[in-house]
Structure 1
Amino acid sequence: MRHGWRLRHGRVSIPGQVYSVTLVTRGRWPGLADLSVARRVIGSLREMDETGHSETLAFCLMPDHLHWLFRLRHRDGLSGVVGQFKGRSARRIPLLRWQRGFHDHAARDDVDLRRLARYIVSNPVRAGLVCRVGDYPYWDAVWL
């Protein structure tokens, strides 16, 4: 059984639902740590919000992966929105390739949202990239 199928097994897409999604670069390519690349990936996240696909609540762009907490706003479903984001960001960054599939978790309530947002933005501290969340440049949150 392929790994991608296991990631999709049981996945439900509900417009208005908040999801925490983790996307990983192919081969764990660490290029997301580059300022120019990071700005273009973040621009793609903002574009997803502006076009009505998502409402980003928090994100953290790590060197080789992305944690994204967002409210699903589009009828294309979770996989469709994530696929749109992957395509947009890859077109902006010729070297960027995302692994197939993604990990997702549906938030249950406001307490869960806060926990997920805090977990996402504190990722660079847990990874030893910085000592304080505020020292890391590639994150944002409207829900803490």
Structure 2
Amino acid sequence: MDSSHFAHRGHALRRGRISEPGRLYLLTAITQHRKKVFYDWQAARLLIGEMRELHEQAQVRSLAWVVMPDHLHWLVELGPLPLAPLMQRLKSRSAIAINKASANSTGRLWQKGFHDHALRREEAVLDVARYVVANPLRAGLVARLGDYPHWDAVWL
């Protein structure tokens, strides 16, 4: 379930999408041209700050997430804000913050759209969370998950 698997499907993913408050979703967003924006510590922390703000505003309940160099995986319980406005807000606010903080970053940060996967009741939430946070290991970025700085899960 690597994020490159989702990238080629683009706008077709939006058809049939539903937002159901209280439902668990795995959300994936990819940077424009898969630029490795989040190798930059400050850029990654600005994105994480925007995710935490949405959590604190009770728009989502963040269960697990990882910020990879060129994409984000975010396992959430959806709050009152529907999926599309939630992701629009996250992507817009993070792009503004990152562009403002960096002289090297201007313009579009994210690809259009996002991928969402609504978890079915029979899916093991912990297995999905493990998939999310293990991304840096599978990508060969670190030998141990604890060595990767940009992830979290409520089960810790």
Establish whether TM, by shorter chain, passes 0.5.
yes
Q: Does 1:88 pair with 2:93?
A: yes
Q: TM-score, normalised by structure 1?
A: 0.91
**Mapped contact 1:113–1:143 kept (Cα < 8 A):** no
The Cα RMSD (Å) is 1.6
Q: Does 1:100 pair with 2:112?
A: yes
**Mapped contact 1:117–1:143 kept (Cα < 8 A):** no
> Which sections of structure 2, spanning at least 5 residues, go unmatched?
1-8, 100-104
Give the 5 Å matches for 1:1-144: 4-74=10-80, 76-94=81-99, 95=105, 97-109=109-121, 111-143=123-155
Partners in 2 of 1:67 and 1:113 — Cα distance?
A: 14
> Which sections of structure 1, spanning at least 5 residues, go unmatched?
none
Partners in 2 of 1:110 and 1:40 — Cα distance?
A: 34
Shift of 1:143: 3.8
Q: Which moved more, 1:105-114 or 1:81-90?
A: 105-114
Identity %: 48
Q: Which runs of structure 1 show a deviation greater than 3 angstroms over 4 or more consecutive aligned residues?
A: none
How many pairs align? 141
Partners in 2 of 1:46 and 1:5 — Cα distance?
A: 27
Letter in 2 for 1:140: D
Partners in 1 of 2:115 and 2:124 — Cα distance?
A: 17
The 3 A distance-change label for structure 1 pair 55 and 110 is farther
Q: TM-score, normalised by structure 2?
A: 0.85
Q: In the alignment, what sits opposite 2:6? A: none
